[in-house]
Amino acid sequence: MEEEAVRMRWLSGRPRRVLNLRRPSGLSQMNSYHAQWSVMDDQVMVALPSTANASSPSTVYMADLKGCLNGDGDTVEFSRTAELPFSATRSRLLSNRKGFVTAEFRQSQGELILRTHEWSGSVDREKALPAEAVDGEIAVHGSSVALCARIGVQKPSTNCRGTSTHVIIWDMDTGDLNRVEIPQDERAPQCHRGSIQFATPSHLALGGHVDPCYDKPYAVLRSIPIAPSEQQNPGRYFHHHENFDYGNDHDAIAVPGSCARNAVIVHHHHHQNRFTVADVGLLTGEIPSVPEPTPRYFTDPDYHKDLFHVFSDKTSARTLNGAIFDRLPALAGNRLLVRQHLDEYGHDQDSYHGFKAPHSSQGTFQVLYLYDFDQGRCKALRQLSPPERRALEERLKELNPDARVTVASRMFYASVEDEDDMEKDPSPEWEAHVRELWEVDQARQRGEATFPTLEFDDAPKGRDDDTSTRMLFTRSMVCLPRVREGEALALTTSAVVELPSPEADGYVHCF
């Protein structure tokens, strides 16, 4: 059970201390592009080519944060733990601090070799299989390892960047290997780049988009049953009919930075703009999702009437503004690390005293937020009495003078252009409430009104009777006292980690 003091620090957004994360000795400008970083359960690992040649054997460096989090030192060092005799095409830390896993892809031989390793690099288990290509990163859940691969077919002629046909699932305990074919919908073939994560032990989540050769590349989210008892189940296919922008982070499923079970799956589907958080029950089918006609799709609005609309689900999902760190862990214990690019011409920078990185593009600056979708923690905050809320606000100010926390139960949907009201209340009281929210938000962005330390974003009185059925969340601005660039941040069990670069050390922000 998480301690109250720890929960308060995460809620306040300010770490209790910051440690230097020394640059691995083998990291250089020549091999940094091929560096494979993994952060899990307060460990950081990087696998690097041992020479400037990307196909050279890999060297593995490890940093263990656990022993440093409560120590007296101010520095975390990487140690060279393994010299692998092969080039690791992919690598990933295993859950529960049990070592690491690698995937070696021998393209000339059409072979993929999966291995689990002890900390010394010695091979614990090994499995080989034929494959023509691999996509995406390794996903890990307990004793299961998954990776997307193309098997048994030539590279198709398509605009899709990924070519995988199957998900390879290896049970490290039993040695069983399962090849699960990635389902397709002939009416709207799905492109993807192998971005997968385990929603549950029996279901995978795959992010993608409609093949641009077929129609506009609308975002899609697919669940893939992998348990033998579920093999006849086609899974669920969620389609997003709004505008889609290409980017390096599209199609991404948030990577877990902890082996703790997450009750949500996060799909980033709109470049630097929007992401959807969904209860895993929507993907497994435990939570019903009624098929609806897809508006404006082709000429027939009923053409995709059997698609499930998780992106606008009113009780078990949230579509919000922001972007996740797509290849680094962003989800741990139902907490989610999100960055948002704000227009400096429409936002007063002096009003944002939290995390700000160098401009990611001309005319914008970046702010970092921590969302919490743990429904138990959120409900406990909403149930506080007015005196208890005032006391909580004072505690937050003591921990962080710049604290900015929102507890949200109001239902809204972040569309392409603006937030859409989902309460469906035509009353004058509700219209006035929504108008006031908009005006206050605009004034805060311009610096004409202050942001409160603690705010409850609820429906008007009398409209909050159904909060027990909807997804609640909190949002805290993260105030990191030391940031180098803010482009390589990862969330793990006890910290926000900024990874080092070839020129500079990183930081460990301990909560």
Our CA angle for 370, 371, 375, nearest 5°, is: 145
Residues 17 and 51 in one domain: no
Q: Cα dihedral sign for 24, 502, 478, 369?
A: negative
User: Looking at 113, 130, 147, which one is the last position of a domain?
Assistant: 130
Which band of pLDDT confidence, cut at 50, 70 and 90, is reported for residue 243?
A: low
Q: Span 489-508, mean pLDDT? A: 96
Q: What is the pLDDT of residues 407-425, one digit of tens each?
A: 999 999 888 877 888 887 8
**Predicted pLDDT at 423:** 84
Which band of pLDDT confidence, cut at 50, 70 and 90, is reported for residue 364?
A: confident
**Predicted pLDDT at 299:** 45
Residues 11 and 106 in one domain: no
Secondary structure (3-state) at 450: coil
- 102 belongs to a structural domain: yes
* Cβ contact 325:256 at 8 Å: no
User: Looking at 91, 108, 130, which one is the last position of a domain?
Assistant: 130
Residues 442 and 464 in one domain: yes
Residues 22 and 115 in one domain: no
Side chain identity at residue 480, one-letter code: L
Indicate if the pLDDT at residue 193 is higher than 70.
Answer: yes
User: Looking at 95, 130, 165, which one is the last position of a domain?
Assistant: 130
Both tokens assigned to 237: 């296919």
User: CB-based burial of residue 353 (10 Å sphere; 0-12 exposed, 13-18 middle, 19+ buried)?
Assistant: middle
Which band of pLDDT confidence, cut at 50, 70 and 90, is reported for residue 84?
A: very high
Indicate if the pLDDT at residue 376 is higher than 50.
Answer: yes
- 107 belongs to a structural domain: yes
| Entry pTM | 0.94
Q: Which domain covers residue 123, as residue numbers?
A: 31-130
* Cβ contact 258:328 at 8 Å: no
The mean-pLDDT minimum among 76-90, 148-162, 443-457 falls in 148-162
Indicate if the pLDDT at residue 249 is higher than 80.
Answer: no
- 151 belongs to a structural domain: no
- 355 belongs to a structural domain: yes
Residues 403 and 367 in one domain: yes
Q: Span 347-351, mean pLDDT? A: 84
Residues 359 and 433 in one domain: yes
The mean-pLDDT minimum among 186-190, 196-200, 286-290 falls in 186-190
Buried residues in 415-432 as b, exposed as e (16+ CB within 10 A): beeebebbbebeeeebee
**Predicted pLDDT at 53:** 82
Which band of pLDDT confidence, cut at 50, 70 and 90, is reported for residue 162?
A: confident
- 182 belongs to a structural domain: no
φ, ψ dihedrals at 120, nearest 5°: -75, -10
Residues 352 and 412 in one domain: yes
Closest to 405 (Cα-Cα) out of 4, 9, 3: 9
Q: What is the pLDDT of residues 251-287, one digit of tens each?
A: 899 999 999 999 999 999 887 788 999 999 999 999 9
- 317 belongs to a structural domain: no
Closest to 93 (Cα-Cα) out of 113, 63, 67, 68: 63
- 86 belongs to a structural domain: yes
Residues 405 and 481 in one domain: yes
Residues 97 and 21 in one domain: no
Secondary structure (3-state) at 461: coil
**Predicted pLDDT at 359:** 56
Report the percentage of the chain scoring pLDDT > 90.
61
Q: What is the pLDDT of residues 107-156, one digit of tens each?
A: 999 999 999 999 999 999 999 999 999 999 999 999 999 999 999 888 77
Helices 4-12 & 386-399, crossing angle to 10 degrees? 70
Q: What is the pLDDT of residues 377-403, one digit of tens each?
A: 999 999 999 999 999 999 999 999 999
Indicate if the pLDDT at residue 296 is higher than 60.
Answer: no
**Predicted pLDDT at 462:** 61
Radius of gyration of the chain (CA): 23
Q: Which residue has the tokens 């009201």?
A: 421
Residues 473 and 506 in one domain: yes
- DSSP class of residue 310 equals G
Both tokens assigned to 287: 């939570």
**Predicted pLDDT at 332:** 97
Q: How many domains does the chain have?
A: 2
- 207 belongs to a structural domain: no
Residues 43 and 19 in one domain: no
Indicate if the pLDDT at residue 293 is higher than 80.
Answer: no
Residues 4 and 105 in one domain: no
